[in-house]
Structure 1
Amino acid sequence: MEKITRFLWFCSGANFNLLQKSPTESNKYVGIGGTVFFTAVLATLSAGYALFTIFQSIYAAIGFSLIWGLMIFNLDRFIVSSMRKRANVWSEWKMAIPRLIMAVILALVISKPLELKIFEREINRKLDEQKIQMMAESKEALSSSFKEIGVLEARKDSLSRAIQTAISYRDQLQQEYDFERFGVKTDGSSGIVGLGTNAKKKEQQLDEAQLELREMKADNQNRIDLLDQEILAINTQKEAEFQKVKPQIDGFDGIAARIDALSHLTSESKAIWRANIMIILLFIAIETAPIFVKLISLRGPYDQFLELAERNVEVYTSERTIKLEYESDLRLIDMKKTRTI
């Protein structure tokens, strides 16, 4: 237990010798040190997630996140240890304001990667939506670059419509021929059963239409096959161009993309916006807690011992300065006397 206490004293930046002389201050600096330590732990976890997202390597993420955590730990320890309890409250606040600003900036930096982790599922869903939209836009852009596909498809449709028109005409002649054979009375048939003159004429027209249809099918199908080959070649080229862009879309998963997705989510959902604000405020409270503890706590024995130690150094330095100046003046006087003689 003593080792943990001394470690937390170290985290708070307190002087061990002075704290041992003022045991009533021990718990306060244990609490301050614990806040500094756990803030550094959160900073390490936050940086680890952010760096893993960037590098996609657990070893690089662990290495750099430890360096980041130690840097945050050192900054927080410096911010807390450099504050002094004075008799003048306003002077304390003047010292605290720049430290509070730095603490808020650190809290905003530390909280962002953890926000991304907390809303990871929602962010992934938003990124998928953006990827789908980007793919659609990419395909649309490629389609506008390969307009000849539309022209070739229109030619195919024209040839297919011509075949369908010929088939419809052949079917119409077939029906008229059947009506004429079976004696069905219509505007175009005589109504006499049997293969009469009209029926033979209809049969001749049907044979001619069937022959034309057969020739048209063969000719148009050859043209359609050639058009299909051209369309296939262009589509292959189009797909190759899309495959060049696709990895960039699939890789749209970096830290900046996630921050942008979180920004969209907070603007679309008030619930997510409130939760995001609460997380930021929580980290600001954690980061600024040691500073506020020092501000609102009463001036204790440790602060008096610390001021006394600093005052001793100041007085000792002044005495040494005066003594050195006095000795220097004596030496100068002696030198002048020697020259005069």
Structure 2
Amino acid sequence: MLKHFFIFCSGADTKILDSCSNGERNKYAGIGATVFFTAIMAFIASGYALYTVFDNIYTSIFFGLIWGLLIFNLDRYIVSTIKKRDSFKNELVQAVPRIILAIIIAVVISKPLEMKIFEKEINQVLLEEKNEMTLANQQQIALQYNPKIEALNQEINNLKTEVAVKETETNALYDTYIAEAEGTAGTKLLGKGPVYKEKREKHDAYLMELAQLKEDNAQKIAVIESQIADLGLDYNNAVTDSQPVIDGFDGLMARINALGKLPWLPSFFIFLLFLAIETSPIIAKLLAPKGEYDYRFEEQESVVATWVSQKVAQRKLLFSTDGELNQKIYEDIKNEEELYRYKKEKAQELLKLQADSFHKIQTKGL
């Protein structure tokens, strides 16, 4: 049962193969088994690749099965259409397009399994890329908020500077009226005279303005710091909202790119393995000697080709003969006087009917 299934997978004509030797059937069963297991590998590889895209096992199995059946059909077609010739060169020329197709299929089915085999290494590359993307994302988002925060901080510094300048002026007035009282500056009269009182009042006025300025600027600074805190919260929210996009950077294309950053030699050997698997049925047919099945198949094709050629030749001969006979018959009829008189009478009757009909139409018009 299994042998018949593998023979079916090889695409061979079972009726012809049943009349061949057991060794010939085993050869085609081996070719069919290679086709079948190549399709199984394609199913596994595509299923894993699609799982990285859809993240759903049932969807991946469904589309992976379709892909495996497609590869099975292609391989079966490739093997079944390669015919043994008397010249290896002719066979090789016949197989070149199919070998190119096999190389393409090998590339397609090897990549997903490479990603599975080197999954840990790929995850490490993706982790490094995600970290770089996170830092770059934070810097890019910060460019939107940093100018506003810096401007607000500059406003706070200006308000603090304004208070510091006012405080310096107030302290200077304090030193002035103290020096006036001590007699070390100003009028240089010891005691609290009129000039002292004037300077003291000016200082007290500045002191009250300083206290009011501190209170006003403190309120302004509090408002600005609240705005800075809000901007910082917006920045954190923006980073948090964009982080899932970076964390989800784990699709098929990302993994293929990450695989490309790993050393190429291991991937190349895996590709060679799948190329050998995919081309093995073709290579087996090319290297195998012309067997009993090939002779029987060629004989059957020859019978069909001969039969078709005979039919075509017969139709051409029938067409040619029928034309010659028709020409001879009409030549003989042309010379018969009875047929001539009969056609002349019919033509005269037709002309009379046409004349009568034309006369009736003209009379009605009058």
Residue 235 of structure 1 is matched in structure 2 by 232
Residue 28 of structure 1 is matched in structure 2 by 27
Residue 205 of structure 1 is matched in structure 2 by none
Report the alpha carbon displacement of residue 217 of structure 1 after superposing the two structures with TM: 9.7
Superposed, which structure 2 residues align to 1:269-288 within 5 Å? 273-288=264-279
4+ long deviations beyond 6 Å:
154-161, 215-221
* Higher mean C-alpha deviation, range 239-248 or range 294-303: 239-248
Report the alpha carbon displacement of residue 319 of structure 1 after superposing the two structures with TM: 1.0
Residue 337 of structure 2 is matched in structure 1 by none
Report the alpha carbon displacement of residue 228 of structure 1 after superposing the two structures with TM: 3.2
Residue 5 of structure 2 is matched in structure 1 by 7
Question: Secondary structure in 2 aligned to 1:22?
Answer: coil
Paired letter, 1:48: G
Residue 120 of structure 1 is matched in structure 2 by 119
C-alpha distance in structure 2 between counterparts of 1:263 and 1:48, whole Å: 21
Report the alpha carbon displacement of residue 85 of structure 1 after superposing the two structures with TM: 0.9
C-alpha distance in structure 2 between counterparts of 1:334 and 1:296, whole Å: 57
Residue 104 of structure 2 is matched in structure 1 by 105
Pairing partner for 2:289 from 298, 317, 323: 298
Structure 2 unaligned regions, length at least 5: 162-206, 333-366
Residue 186 of structure 1 is matched in structure 2 by none
C-alpha distance in structure 1 between counterparts of 2:318 and 2:240, whole Å: 85
Question: Secondary structure in 2 aligned to 1:265?
Answer: coil
- TM-score, length of structure 2 as denominator length: 0.71
Provide closer, same or farther for how the CA distance between residues 255 and 220 of structure 1 changes in structure 2, counting only shifts above 3 A. same
Report the alpha carbon displacement of residue 60 of structure 1 after superposing the two structures with TM: 1.9
Residue 40 of structure 1 is matched in structure 2 by 39
Q: Does 1:55 align with 2:54?
A: yes
Pairing partner for 1:310 from 283, 301, 316: 301
Structure ID, larger Rg? 2
Listed one character per residue, the Cα deviations across residues 255-294 of structure 1 (whole Å, up to 9, x for unaligned) are: 111111111223xxxxxx3221111110000001011101
Residue 324 of structure 2 is matched in structure 1 by 333
Provide closer, same or farther for how the CA distance between residues 9 and 238 of structure 1 changes in structure 2, counting only shifts above 3 A. same
Aligned residues: 286
Superposed, which structure 2 residues align to 1:44-193 within 5 Å? 44-146=43-145, 147-152=147-152
Provide closer, same or farther for how the CA distance between residues 21 and 277 of structure 1 changes in structure 2, counting only shifts above 3 A. same
C-alpha distance in structure 2 between counterparts of 1:44 and 1:139, whole Å: 41
C-alpha distance in structure 1 between counterparts of 2:39 and 2:128, whole Å: 35
C-alpha distance in structure 2 between counterparts of 1:241 and 1:223, whole Å: 27
Q: Does 1:249 align with 2:246?
A: yes
- TM-score, length of structure 1 as denominator length: 0.76
Question: Secondary structure in 1 aligned to 2:261?
Answer: helix
Report the alpha carbon displacement of residue 244 of structure 1 after superposing the two structures with TM: 4.0
Report the alpha carbon displacement of residue 333 of structure 1 after superposing the two structures with TM: 2.5
C-alpha distance in structure 1 between counterparts of 2:266 and 2:156, whole Å: 57
Provide closer, same or farther for how the CA distance between residues 107 and 326 of structure 1 changes in structure 2, counting only shifts above 3 A. same
Superposed, which structure 2 residues align to 1:203-218 within 5 Å? none
Report the alpha carbon displacement of residue 127 of structure 1 after superposing the two structures with TM: 1.2
Residue 194 of structure 1 is matched in structure 2 by none
C-alpha distance in structure 1 between counterparts of 2:104 and 2:56, whole Å: 27
Paired letter, 1:133: E
Provide closer, same or farther for how the CA distance between residues 123 and 154 of structure 1 changes in structure 2, counting only shifts above 3 A. farther
Paired letter, 1:316: W
Structure 1 unaligned regions, length at least 5: 162-210, 267-272
C-alpha distance in structure 1 between counterparts of 2:273 and 2:157, whole Å: 65
C-alpha distance in structure 2 between counterparts of 1:296 and 1:159, whole Å: 91
C-alpha distance in structure 1 between counterparts of 2:276 and 2:214, whole Å: 80
Pairing partner for 2:315 from 314, 324, 335: 324
C-alpha distance in structure 2 between counterparts of 1:245 and 1:334, whole Å: 90
Report the alpha carbon displacement of residue 148 of structure 1 after superposing the two structures with TM: 2.7
Question: Secondary structure in 2 aligned to 1:298?
Answer: coil
Question: Secondary structure in 1 aligned to 2:262?
Answer: helix
C-alpha distance in structure 1 between counterparts of 2:302 and 2:4, whole Å: 25
Question: Secondary structure in 2 aligned to 1:84?
Answer: coil
Report the alpha carbon displacement of residue 250 of structure 1 after superposing the two structures with TM: 1.9
C-alpha distance in structure 1 between counterparts of 2:25 and 2:112, whole Å: 34
